[in-house]
Structure 1
Amino acid sequence: MEERASFDVYRRDLHCCREIVMRKRMTTTLEKYQRCNLNPIANSIGTETQNWCQEVSLLNAKYESLQHTQRHLLGEDLGPLSLKELQSLEKQLEGALGQTRHRKVMVGDGGVNDIERNKLP
């Protein structure tokens, strides 16, 4: 009988220990849940801030790249360019020059046509 009572006390103590551990785990889980899900504003702000930081980094890199390209097109900072890069730059400049000349001819022809129209009564 005494063994039975001792066993019952042991089972009760074991049950109490399990209950304490389970409560602790539940409390920890609930705290994590509250931090993550019950505060969506903080989470969305954090995510949004991260997205904006990445966007700013990408835009800064693009801006710097465009500045390098502009300097190269203006004939500045050509020293570090390889032969292939210089040839590509030359091709771009020749294309732009061709478009400019074409536009100049078109504007010039338009001016000539206006002059001819004014001469005719």
Structure 2
Amino acid sequence: MVRGKTQLKRIEDTTSRQVTFSKRRKGLLKKAFELSVLCDAEVALIIFSPRGKLNQYASSSMEETIERYKRHVKNTQDSTSPLVNQNAQPIKHEARRMSKKIEQLETSKRKLLGEGLGTCSIRELQKLERQLDRSISFIRARKMSLYRKQIEQLKEKERTLVAENAVLREKLRLYQHQISNEDNAAV
């Protein structure tokens, strides 16, 4: 029997996700062991579960393998350093610019929450007040829109229930009329 191709996306069911993690972790550890034995390769595998539990495998010493990896990465970076520096300048500039923008947004957010207002000038406070007034207006408009929708839904439900009630009253009236006719016929 051939299994279908597994679609690679996050498994939503927590139980299924945990079972899949456990099975695949075992398979991955087995493959790492096989690779180290069959190919005489130095293998180190580190896995952190979703709950933070550490699982690891090392064909030799984990610390030695990590140190070897660090040395290799450092040597690789040193050999490509001039080229990387040329390409990194625009990226570093963009990162600094974005960092300043994030800092400004965080400061603005803190001020909107009423924190750190001690250093604000009158003009800044007035601007902040206008901004909050606009926000409150948008929030109130949205709230009123939601209330209107809810009222319309409740009115529609009321109409449906009134109509249903009328039908039931008519059925009850007919039933009572039928019973009174049966009582009169029995007498």
Scaled to the shorter chain, the TM-score interval is 0.5 to 0.7
Mapping 1:88-99, distance limit 5 Å: 88-99=127-138
Mapping 1:1-121, distance limit 5 Å: 45-121=84-160
**Per-residue deviation, 1:119:** 1.0
Mapped partners of 1:60, 1:93: distance in 2? 25
Q: Which moved more, 1:103-112 or 1:42-51?
A: 42-51
Give the aligned partner of residue 15 of structure 2: none
Write the deviation string for residues 81-119 of structure 1: whole angstroms up to 9, x where unpaired: 000000000000000000000000000000000000111
Structure with the bigger RCO (C-alpha within 8 Å, sep 6+) is 1
Mapped partners of 1:58, 1:67: distance in 2? 14
Percentage of pairs with the same residue: 28
Displacement over 6 Å in runs of 4+: none
Give the aligned partner of residue 13 of structure 1: none
**Per-residue deviation, 1:46:** 2.9
Amino acid at match of 1:95: R
Higher strand share: 2
User: Unpaired runs of 5+ in structure 2?
Assistant: 1-79, 161-187
Matched positions, count: 81
Higher helix share: 1
Write the deviation string for residues 46-78 of structure 1: whole angstroms up to 9, x where unpaired: 332101110110011001000100000000000
User: Unpaired runs of 5+ in structure 1?
Assistant: 1-40
SS in 2 for 1:79: coil
Larger-gyration structure (1/2):
1
